[in-house]
């Protein structure tokens, strides 16, 4: 069991190209459950998940498109505007399942905000590993649109809340390798 987990940790790769076959609800629930078991200081559990599938992806696509038009839409011809809209809308359709993960930091004075974000990052990693264990490919995406006020509005987030990632999940349609700086170079041993 433990060796399987280590194997999963090391073989998980960021998979940006997936097939469009829908992800069954029971698999989605397993992925969410894994996310929900992440640690958090004071057990605040500051995560919120938005499960976006099927036509639900249009709402996300419209937000991508609105942001693109606000940021790059000025002076475009009608045809260029339409092309930009479609390209941006299509971003939401890169996978059959998108799980948007937000951090809603607790506001008690003993809670350290950075730790709330750390907990949600742990939750996302749990989900990436669960997806991998179930044979899915996944990518944790952020980028400028994910920090845009339009995205905040889409997910109804408050001033202190933050969209931590859009996790795109589906059956893998690519293979990918990755590299790491050897861990020796990242480690000091004190003994």
Ligand X SMILES: Cc1cc2nc3c(=O)[nH]c(=O)nc-3n(C[C@H](O)[C@H](O)[C@H](O)COP(=O)(O)O)c2cc1C
Q: Counting contacts by CB under 6 A, is residue 141 touching ligand X?
A: yes
38, 139, 163, 167: residue in contact with ligand X (rule CB under 6 A): 139
Residues in the chain: 191
**Taking contact as CB under 6 A, which single stretch among the options 42-50, 59-67, 104-112, 139-147 is the one that binds ligand X?**
139-147
d(CA 80, CA 110) in angstroms, rounded, equals 51
Which pair of tokens denotes residue 51? 């499960």
Binding residue for ligand X, selected from 93, 117, 140, 155, defined by CB under 6 A? 140
Lookup result for tokens 């200081």: 41
Choosing from 11, 55, 178, 191, the residue that interacts with ligand X (CB under 6 A) is 178
The mark string for 4-23 relative to ligand X (x by CB under 6 A, - otherwise) is ---------xx-x-------
* Closest to ligand X by CB, 9 or 82: 9
- Of 16 and 73, the one with the shorter C-beta distance to ligand X is 16
- Nearest approach, Cβ of residue 138 and ligand X (Å): 9
Query: Among residues 3 and 178, whose Cβ is nearest to ligand X?
Result: 178
CA triplet 52, 50, 59: central angle to 5 degrees? 50
Q: Rank residues 16 and 56 by Cβ distance to ligand X and give the closer one.
A: 16
Put the strands of the sheet holding 97-103 in their side by side order.
47-53, 97-103, 162-170, 137-141
In the numeric block, which tokens belong to residue 164? 């931590």
User: Number of residues in contact with ligand X, rule: CB under 6 A?
Assistant: 11
Residues 80-119: x where in contact with ligand X by CB under 6 A, - otherwise, as a string: ----------------------------------------
What is the residue-wise DSSP string for 28-85? HHHHHHHHHT---GGG---EEEEEEEGGGHHHHHHHHHHHHHHHH-TT--HHHHHHHH
Identify any residues that bridge with 18 across adjacent strands, giving them in sequence order: 172
- What residues make contact with ligand X under the rule CB under 6 A? 13-14, 16, 139-143, 165, 176, 178
């Amino acid at each position: 069991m433990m060796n399987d987990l280590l194997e999963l940790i090391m073989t998980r790769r960021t998979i940006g190209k997936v097939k469009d076959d829908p992800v069954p609800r029971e698999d989605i629930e397993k992925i969410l459950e894994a996310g929900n078991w992440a640690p958090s200081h004071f057990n605040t559990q500051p995560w919120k998940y938005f499960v976006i599938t099927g036509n639900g992806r249009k709402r996300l696509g419209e937000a991508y498109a609105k942001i693109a038009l606000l940021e790059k839409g000025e002076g475009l011809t009608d045809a260029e505007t339409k092309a930009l809209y479609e390209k941006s809308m299509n971003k939401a359709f890169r996978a059959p399942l998108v799980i948007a993960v937000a951090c809603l930091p607790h506001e008690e004075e003993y809670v350290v905000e950075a730790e709330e974000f750390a907990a949600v990052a742990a939750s996302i990693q749990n989900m990436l590993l669960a997806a991998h264990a179930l044979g899915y490919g996944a990518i944790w995406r952020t980028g400028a649109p994910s920090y845009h006020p339009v995205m905040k509005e889409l997910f109804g987030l408050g001033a202190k809340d933050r969209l931590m990632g859009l996790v795109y999940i589906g059956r893998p349609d690519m293979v990918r390798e990755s590299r790491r700086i050897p861990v020796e170079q990242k480690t000091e041993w004190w003994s």
